[in-house]
Chain A
Amino acid sequence: MKAPGLYGYTLAYLLFLYAPIALLPIFAFNDSVVIAFPLSGFTTSWFSAMWEDSSMWQALRNSMIVSGSTAILATVLGLFAARASTRHAFPGKAGIMGLIMLPLVLPEMIVAMSLLVALLAAGLDLSLWTVILGHVLICTPFAVAILTSAFQSLDRSLEEAALDLGETPVSTFRLVILPLVAPGIVASLLICFTVSLDEFIVAYFLAGTEPLLSVYIYGQFRFPSNVPAVMALGTVLVAVSVLLLAAAEYFRRRGIARTGGSAGGGFV
């Protein structure tokens, strides 16, 4: 490497990025209620404590419903917007796309409190469904970003060939375009699921009495004796997140390779 100083700095920075997460498994397996060094011994009892907590399972079940629905709805909405923005020029496009992408920079507190005010004003009761409405809003920009790069790498002549061969626009979309952007769709589903699963403030404001996983974890931090079990849960969640992301990245790359492009950039 030509720049050893820069290389060393970048490695130190990566260490800083990974340091907190590296502590998770250490304390999840540490035989002490106190989260501090020195370590006192190896145990798996925090994992069984986590496993036997019925309120954790209730929160997990709710989160699966919310994140699963969010992933599907946000990806469908993302497909419409990404297709429109890559394929068509229309007046007001910058403004419309700006509004759709706005939740990416808006503080989540603003999204959460404005939805709370509006949903209550509309007479809706808070439930898992109101969380899904909020999470779809937050996840759609991620879906649009991923799917836009998938649509951009499409070779337009494939589509024209299908139309010339007598396919309708709808059947062309189904038979030619959809299979080519399918990896992008899978990546979008996985990313939206992960974002929704981790989201806290909207879930806290809009879930009513239904516990969600992030809100459950937040509540557990108030009881020091429950924290080691949260470390165990966090270890499992990080492992699952990394697997889902690796899968998303794999599908995104495969999609770009399939359409003849080269993989660059990241998720955002």
Chain B
Amino acid sequence: MAGDAGRLRAALRGWALVSPTAIYAVALLAIPLGTVLVVSFLTDGRTPGGLRTVLPVATIANYIEVWTNDIYRFLMLRSLAVSMSVTLVTVVLAYPVAYYVSFHVAPNKKALWLFLITIPFWTSYIIRVFLWKVILGFNGVVNSGLLSLGIIDAPLQAINYSVQAMVMTLAHAYAPFAILPIFVALEKIDRSLLEAGQDLGESRLMTFLRVTLPLSMPGVIAAVLIVFIPTVGDYVTPDLIGGGKLPMIANAIEVQMLKLNSKALGSALAVSAMLIVASVTVVFLLLNRRFLGGGR
């Protein structure tokens, strides 16, 4: 009994301490997300005065619109294609960097290397995205540089306002998010396992494939999710790099929410997008469940 009372007291103390932050997150995250869910089942309309508003009339018409309109399906598929490409490119490019810092940098230099890697991430995101437009644009750095060197006669069209340019920009923006979790997972690997593998006659490559890579998978999985989920909802890159010609789902949400003031339809779009992202995430985690669990 005394143990139970002590545990209850400890629990109460923990709850009391975490409560200001928890209440804030409930009030400004959980309740707003719930509100969006409710609004997505209401109707966009006008007040008697003619202003755009949400009328309290329950309907699933917004979802029918979102799930049957070809435009939204196309934008969602483009968003998924872009963010999956970004995730693949970012994680594949980041892995060797994380590996190098974890396995080949002296312990007292590791923090400095990580600091160097994270600095670009802390500079204004919109300015960085705009700079990629400057680099890859029609009159951009690459084209004007190649022209003035006489390598090409006319600006390359392919690198301008393309999906590839968006993937490149986002892969740059999310690089540290991929490197850090993989680095943390690599740091946790017991180095004697690798020596054991090589003592038992495995080549360095086989040791990497059979020991290091599987053990670092929790970091790779974290990197995939932390890149994939936010990039599906990216707004700035399609707007600036795509020049407004290659919108993704977040741009459609912005148009409905602000420009057309159709909050119910915009909410249904957002809820649908979140459901799709959540489903993809769950499938991905199930496919990789053998690497997770038991590893902590």
Contact = CB atoms under 8 A, between A and B. Distances in A.
Contacts of B257: 113, 116-117, 205
Contact of A100 (B17, B21, B110): B21
B124 interface: yes
A229 B128 CA distance: 15
A11 to B, nearest CB: 10
Contact of B96 (A6, A93, A238): A6
Contact of B22 (A21, A76, A100, A133): A100
A225 interface: no
B29 A137 contact: yes
Nearest to B116: A14
Given A23-B135, A110-B233, A221-B240, A214 B118 contact: no
Contact of B36 (A19, A113, A242, A264): A113
Main secondary structure of the interface of A (DSSP, over half): helix
B144 interface: yes
B66 interface: no
Interface string B87-114: 0000001001101110110000011001
B104 A1 contact: yes
A13 interface: yes
A10 interface: yes
A266 B114 CA distance: 6
A62 B132 CA distance: 28
Contact of B29 (A7, A105, A111): A111
A71 to B, nearest CB: 14
A85 B21 CA distance: 11
Interface in A56-96: 76-78, 80-81, 83-85, 87-91, 93, 96
Given A17-B175, A133-B28, A198-B125, A10 B22 contact: no
Given A93-B14, A115-B32, A117-B263, A3 B124 contact: no
Interface stretch (B159-167, B212-220, B222-230, B286-294): B222-230
Contact of A237 (B35, B97, B124, B132): B124
Contacts of B13: 88, 90
A175 interface: no
B211 interface: no
A109 interface: yes
A118 interface: yes
Interface in A1-50: 1-3, 6-7, 9-10, 13-14, 16-21, 23-24, 27, 34-38
B145 A10 contact: no
A154 B177 CA distance: 27
Given A38-B148, A266-B115, A110 B131 contact: no
B140 interface: yes
A194 to B, nearest CB: 6
Contacts of A9: 96-97, 100
Contacts of A37: 141, 144-145, 148
Which bracket fits the contact residues of A? 35 or more
A205 B266 CA distance: 13
Contacts of B172: 16-17, 20
Interface string B231-244: 01111100010000
A103 interface: yes
A89 B25 CA distance: 20
Given A80-B17, A114-B36, A99 B25 contact: yes
Chain B contact residues, majority secondary structure: helix
B142 to A, nearest CB: 9
Contacts of A13: 93, 96-97, 175
| A37, A96, A116, A194 — most chain B CB neighbours (10 Å) | A37
Which one of B15, B124, B134, B144 has the greatest number of beta carbons of chain A within 10 Å? B124
A88 B10 contact: yes
Contact of B236 (A24, A201, A264): A201
B17 A249 contact: no
A14 B28 CA distance: 38
B282 interface: no
Interface of B: 10-15, 17-22, 24-26, 28-33, 35-36, 39, 93, 96-97, 99-101, 103-104, 110-111, 114-120, 122-128, 130-132, 134-135, 139-141, 143-145, 148, 172, 175-177, 180, 184, 225-226, 229-230, 232-236, 240, 250, 253-254, 257-258, 263, 266-267, 270, 274
Given A20-B132, A36-B143, A38-B144, 15 more contacts: A2-B104, A9-B96, A10-B97, A10-B100, A14-B117, A18-B120, A24-B127, A89-B10, A90-B13, A96-B18, A107-B233, A137-B24, A198-B123, A198-B126, A245-B118
11 contacts: A23-B131, A80-B17, A84-B21, A90-B18, A99-B25, A99-B26, A100-B21, A100-B22, A102-B25, A108-B233, A113-B253
Interface of A: 1-3, 6-7, 9-10, 13-14, 16-21, 23-24, 27, 34-38, 76-78, 80-81, 83-85, 87-91, 93, 96-97, 99-100, 102-111, 113-121, 133-134, 136-137, 140, 144, 194, 197-198, 200-201, 205, 214, 217-218, 221, 230, 234, 237-238, 241-242, 245, 249, 253, 263-268
